[in-house]
Chains A and B, each alone.
Chain A
Amino acid sequence: MKKIINDASQVVGDMLKGMLLAHDDLIEAIDNTNVVVAKDKPQTVGLVSGGGSGHEPAHAGFVGDGMLRSAVLGEMFTSPTPDQVLEAIKASDTGQGVLLIVKNYTGDVMNFDMAKELAEMEGIEVDSVLVDDDIAVENSTHTAGKRGVAGTVLVHKILGKLARDGHTLQELKQIGDALVQDIHTLGVALSGATVPEVGKPGFTLDEDEMEYGVGIHGEPGYRREQLKSSREISKELVEKLVKEYNLNETKKIGLLVNGLGATPLMELYVFYQDVVNELKNHNVEVVFKKVGNFMTSIDMAGLSLTLIDLEDSSRLDALNAPVHVVSW
């Protein structure tokens, strides 16, 4: 393992300190917690998200006017604890209630649920939206269900704008639940991620090997094979993703090409142009696009592609609205 760190067990806290120093105009932390809060707090529903660390800029990079009110940073790849989430909820409530945006992992769901129960006991109105955009996993009773991955960032952006516009907690919950159904993501990995304290990659791939459908914590994907060209990878991902939509009539969609941490922006753009070409074979009109690192997996090499249904113009407006956060 080769990393620019001081102490493998202190990476999350050290990162947080650096982030706060670098962006002291936008964010601050609650004392003795790993909760990042926006300095600017309008009287609207507060959005709270978070999860294990290692996915930077998610989620602290999306805290600020027009997106999240606060983000809870767990240990590396480990859900934050209910007491920390409770602090985030308390700091985010201005009397309009708080909406939790949770990625669908067993740990996240349980810890955020417990925090919700604790907050309700303190008289704060809380609801939650569960994001499960990764289509690599079948949604069945035999698994913990589809996972939440890069599409979560689009949920932050759209609901963040709508919260700023003054939508109520109940409205945001309803809009969020419908929105999540229309966002789908699929990824590909070229190498595993190394949690600093573990010191070795969570899984290994041969020099010439890749894996489709790997999760953002290195959860196993659906197929390993010899490394393909960007064109061939884009074809596979696009073909699987468009099946999630009814394309009998031309549909307006948005695209998010997300790097997993160790893949250069150069490759993301190479892949992006292949995606755009591939989509010409399908009945879609691309009305929104985003390329970069939004939901990473520490130092995993690879990328994910997210499609979002933007037939509803309020979604597109929300995505295009200006925000004041570290990493949009």
Chain B
Amino acid sequence: MELTGEQAQRWILCFQEKIEKNKAYLSDLDQAIGDGDHGSNMYRGVQAVKEKLNELEDPTTEEVLKTTAMALISKVGGASGPLYGSAFMQMAKTAKETTELPELIQAGLEGIKQRGKAELKDKTMVDAWAPVAEALTNGTFSNDTIDQAVEDTKPLQAKKGRASYVGERSIGALDPGAVSSGYLFTALVEEVLK
């Protein structure tokens, strides 16, 4: 299925609402295995995204994705900024060729992997993005895909990012980046795929 500019805009604005609502929860998750600022950093980013998106009139899919990328890159900082920023930047580039949703999400995943050099099971955002991209491509995607992918980060030991410093103590905790990515995909379900 194709993602229109209007759908893309609603999707990202819904993501903003979810981050706003779960800001404290995301920071608490990060406090357990990182430095406790994932919620506040993402919130700063999506606020900027909201502002920029609301300025766009009748945007193309590419415009929405690129605007989102630039706002996240310049506002989030930390590791999440470049990772989410690279994801949306790759999606924007792909949107020049195709706006098919599976291709876009796959491009986003590639952007994250290139920037962060993480692989599946490293307990990162990749663990949320990869199963979703795969299920969208195979046509097996459902809400359960998201929940399962996020939940599956719990037993993993972190091998990338700040959480890798706590070693085995990261086992049993949800990955905050996977959780915030989960909100992105839930927003996609609610605004586009419902």
Contacts and interface: CB of A to CB of B under 8 A. Distances in A.
Contacts, number: 96
B77 A143 contact: no
Given A77-B37, A110-B115, A202-B35, A82 B167 contact: no
A276 interface: no
Interface string A300-322: 00000000000000000000000
B35 A81 contact: no
Contacts of A80: 77
B74 A83 contact: yes
A83 B83 CA distance: 15
Given A79-B78, A82-B74, A220-B169, A106 B35 contact: no
Interface in B153-169: 157, 159-162, 164-167, 169
A114 B89 CA distance: 12
A84 B40 CA distance: 19
B159 to A, nearest CB: 5
A79 B79 contact: yes
Contacts of A177: none
A143 B118 CA distance: 11
Contacts of B74: 81-84
A305 to B, nearest CB: 20
Contacts of A84: 74
B82 A141 contact: no
A254 interface: no
A83 B82 contact: no
B83 A110 contact: yes
B5 interface: no
Contact of B162 (A81, A105, A142): A105
A250 interface: no
Given A81-B76, A202-B35, A218-B35, A106 B169 contact: no
Contacts of A75: 37, 41, 44, 77
B73 A78 contact: no
Nearest to A111: B82
A111 B81 contact: yes
B90 to A, nearest CB: 13
B40, B75, B77, B162: most-surrounded residue (chain A CB, <10 A):
B77
Interface string B102-119: 000000000000011000
A144 B75 CA distance: 23
A153 interface: no
Nearest to A215: B165
Nearest to A220: B166
A142 B112 CA distance: 19
Interface in A12-54: 52
A78 B82 contact: no
B26 to A, nearest CB: 13
Contacts of B166: 219-220
Nearest to B164: A143
A84 B37 CA distance: 20
Contacts of A79: 77-79, 81
A75 B38 CA distance: 13
B108 to A, nearest CB: 16
A81 B81 contact: yes
Contact of A106 (B27, B75, B76, B161): B161
B24 to A, nearest CB: 11
A259 interface: no
Contact of A197 (B31, B40, B77, B161): B40
A291 to B, nearest CB: 28
Nearest to B115: A110
26 contacts: A77-B35, A78-B37, A79-B78, A79-B79, A80-B77, A82-B81, A82-B82, A82-B85, A106-B116, A106-B160, A106-B162, A107-B78, A110-B81, A113-B82, A113-B115, A114-B85, A142-B157, A143-B159, A143-B165, A144-B161, A195-B36, A197-B40, A198-B36, A198-B37, A217-B162, A219-B162
Interface of B: 27, 31, 35-37, 40-41, 44, 73-83, 85-86, 115-116, 157, 159-162, 164-167, 169
Instruction: List the 5 closest pairs (A to B, CB-CB), nearest first.
Output: A110-B82, A143-B164, A107-B79, A107-B78, A78-B77
